[in-house]
Structure 1
Amino acid sequence: MQVQQTEIEGCFILEPTVFEDKRGYFMESYNQEKFEHLTGAKPHFVQDNESLSVKGVLRGLHFQKGVHAQAKLVRVLEGEVLDVAVDIRPNSKTFGKVVSILLSSQNKNQMFIPRGCAHGFVTLSDTAKFFYKCDNFYHAASEGGIIYNDPTFNIDWILNTEDLIISEKDKILPAFNEAIIH
């Protein structure tokens, strides 16, 4: 596994070692010892989530606040997405930084997003199956979000705005300067 530090402190891109032959492929998608050694992060994952989205679905930017904050290890099992993390930790050296990466079933890359970051993705393929591990349980009262098109971040979601499919809940998320992020 190769690990690359991103512009966000504690946020990593993981490229697995994939063994391919005429039968298909094998890869180790997660190994706690290797992960901790290569990243220095020591999450204790307690929940796995999976979603299926059609092309144009944009989910985000979401986060959990306070003691219910979540670190995530995300990957795509089928299809392709643009995955985005935003550092919303006020005391972080990388506060306000944005990282975006193409994750796909082809490249098999993953992104580790530390606690205190907002997260979102948009589906670029006809469908995408998105999978992620969380180090804390979902807690509805601690849910927060930032509107996907906040000019503070100027995120290029690749697709035209009129091609995006966004939930009613995500369409009314507050701007970054209005979001409760502590």
Structure 2
Amino acid sequence: MIVSETPLAQSFIIEPKVFGDSRGYFFESFNQNLFFQKTGVDINFIQDNEAYSNRGVLRGLHFQKKEHAQAKLVRVVTGKVLDVIVDLRKNSKTYGKTFSIILSGENKKQLFVPRGFAHGYVVLEDNTIFSYKCDNYYFPKSEGGIIYNDPTLNIDWMLDKNEILVSEKDKNLGKFL
């Protein structure tokens, strides 16, 4: 496994070692001991989630507040997304900064999103399956979000605005500042 820190403090790109042959492939998608050795992050994931979407679906930017904050390890099983994170930790040197990465079933890359970050993604291919682990349970009263087209963050979602499909709930999220 290759682990590299993103420009946002304590967020990591994970590239697993993939063993492939004429039958297909195998890789270890998560190993707690190896993850700790490579990142220094002691994590206990307690919930796995999966979402199926087609091209243009944008989910986010979401986060959980205070004691219900969640760290996530996100990946794409099949298809492709542009995954985006925003550092919301006011005491962080990267507060208000964003990072984006292409995650796909082909590249098998994963992104570790620490607690205190907003997270979202836009689907770039039909029939995409997005999977992620969380270290805390979802608590509806602690959810928060930032509108995907926030002018301060100015995120390039790589699709024309007419192609983007956003839920009614996500259309009503607030601005960053």
What range is the shorter-chain TM-score in? Answer: over 0.9
Q: Structure 2: how far apart are the matches of 1:81 and 1:89?
A: 25
- Amino acid in the other structure paired with 1:174: G
Q: Which residue of structure 1 aligns with residue 83 of structure 2? A: 83
SS of the aligned residue for 1:176 comes to: coil
Pairing 1:58–2:58 present = yes
Please report how far the alpha carbon of residue 97 of structure 1 lies from its aligned counterpart in structure 2 after TM superposition. Answer: 1.2
TM-score (norm 1): 0.96
Q: Which deviations, in whole Å up to 9, do the C-alpha atoms of 1:59-96 show, x marking residues without a partner? A: 00000000000000000001000000100110111101
Q: Structure 2: how far apart are the matches of 1:153 and 1:12?
A: 20
Q: Structure 2: how far apart are the matches of 1:113 and 1:103?
A: 13
Moved over 2 A (4+): none
Q: Which residue of structure 2 aligns with residue 31 of structure 1? A: 31
TM-score (norm 2): 0.99
Q: Percent identical across equivalent pairs?
A: 60
- Unpaired runs of at least 5, structure 1: 178-182
Alignment of 1:1-182 (within 5 A): 1-177=1-177
Q: Structure 1: how far apart are the matches of 2:32 and 2:46?
A: 13
Q: Which deviations, in whole Å up to 9, do the C-alpha atoms of 1:129-173 show, x marking residues without a partner? A: 000000000000000000001111111000000100000000010
SS of the aligned residue for 2:174 comes to: coil
Q: Which residue of structure 2 aligns with residue 180 of structure 1? A: none
Q: Which deviations, in whole Å up to 9, do the C-alpha atoms of 1:90-149 show, x marking residues without a partner? A: 011110111100000000000000000000000000121000000000000000000001
- Unpaired runs of at least 5, structure 2: none
Question: How many residues are matched?
Answer: 177
- Amino acid in the other structure paired with 1:16: P
